[in-house]
Amino acid sequence: MNDAAGDLDLFDGGPPLRLLRLWGRFDPWHRHVVRRALVVIALGWLPLMALALVSGAYGHAEVLAAFLRDASVHARSLLAAPLLVLAEALCIPRLGAIAQSLGTRGIVPPSEGPAYEAVVRSIRRLRDSWMVEAFAVVLACAAALLLVSHVPAAFLPDWHRGDASAPLGRSLASWWHALVSLPLLLVLLLGWVWRLCLWAHYLWRVSRLKLRLVVSHPEGAAGLMVVGYSLRDFSPVGVAIGIIVAATELAHVVAGGAGSPEQLGRLALGTVGVVVVLFTAPLLVFSPPLLAAWRRGVVDYGALVQRVGEAFEDKWMAGPATPDTSEPLSSGDFSAVTDLYQSAGNAFTMRLVAVDLRSLLALAASTALPFGVVALAMVPFDKLFDQLVGMLL
């Protein structure tokens, strides 16, 4: 098999990274990811603030006041969008490292080397597809145009509304949001959707190879638990999705809406459930080979344990005393049998899903974190203080 060092950038693509290559600003090592995050803020939020200030200066103070009160637009443009950019530097190299690990640590045997290289080539072709990049941009712009043409301004926050002379009755800030800020956020989200599709396709193709699975592996998944650790690497994306969803409820609360903890809890539970399912489902493609390996391991290790156990008991329990059996503590038979039983136990209790529970909980907690912040905002400070004092005392 070829050196898999190139697998580190296997998922380093998708919207809008292809556009950055065209622009000549692509950074394969993500050294300037903070700068890109600041550019996203400069494009998505600063013009909205400037246009709201202009509206306030020209006699529309209500537009500026409504914009400052709209927690959802600030959360999306100041937090979620740049976090989706920062997540590229955190998640993409980790996914590449997992792919490199699968290709070099022996899980993919040399006999499957050509097939694995074909998988890598397929992922690279999909990753660098111009059609995907163009489709993401067109889809984001189409969604923005649908928002402008079909959603009445009365259903939007007050800062979207302009005077009678404004196009379609919308403020300049509203137009910038619909034609720049919202498409930018959607392109970033679609980029992560595409990377998740690439990741799922890669795992599915690899799962169809004749993998070298060690059923007695101490990690509990025959050597495949490394893919289960990917869930915690998606945590920044989970936080961004949680911010986008929770910010809508927060804006409702700030605007004086009668939000309830029960409603927020249902929203949080649904969002966390969708995120966990989306990022966990690709890992299930390894369940069939894990099941086949477990069945084989139960039979093979069961026969070996039976044979060794019978010989051990015949020698130490049922047989006559001999010089070899007079000092059991000095014999290595007991430790050898114990080691064998431990390895067999790993095989018998092997997991059939390559999902790490702690990584799954980390992803769920990250997605739920923004809802916790909103929950604190919904509780009056005096009641929250009294509850904290009661817990301490």
Residue type, 227: V
pLDDT in tens, 252-286: 766 665 567 778 888 999 999 999 999 999 999 99
Residue 210 has pLDDT above 70, yes or no: yes
Query: What pLDDT score was predicted for residue 57?
Result: 81
Between 173 and 105, residue with greater pLDDT:
173
Q: What is the DSSP string of 231-242?
A: HHHTHHHHHHHH
- Least Cα distance to 72 among 259, 244, 295 occurs for 244
* pLDDT over threshold 80, residue 27: no
% the chain with pLDDT above 90: 47
- Establish whether the linkage from the previous residue to 109 is cis, with ω within 30° of 0: no
Q: Which two tokens stand for residue 281?
A: 């489902």
If you ran DSSP here, which 8-state letter would residue 151 be given? S
- Which is nearest to 360 in space by CA: 230, 189, 196? 230
End-to-end CA distance of the chain: 64
pLDDT value for 383: 59
For residues 369 and 378, what is the distance between their CA atoms, to the nearest angstrom?
A: 15
pTM of the model: 0.86
pLDDT band at 105 (very low <50, low <70, confident <90, very high): confident
Q: What band does 247 get if pLDDT is binned at 50, 70 and 90?
A: confident
Cβ(222)–Cβ(301) under 8 Å?
Answer: no
Q: H or E element: which one contains 334?
A: helix 333-348
- State the burial class of residue 224 (Cβ atoms within 10 Å of its Cβ: 0-12, 13-18, 19+): buried
Sorted by where each begins, the domain ranges of the chain are: 1-211
pLDDT at 15: 75
For 161, list phi and psi in degrees, rounded to 5: -90, 130
Query: CA dist 49 to 44, 45, 255, 353, Å?
Result: 10, 6, 18, 48
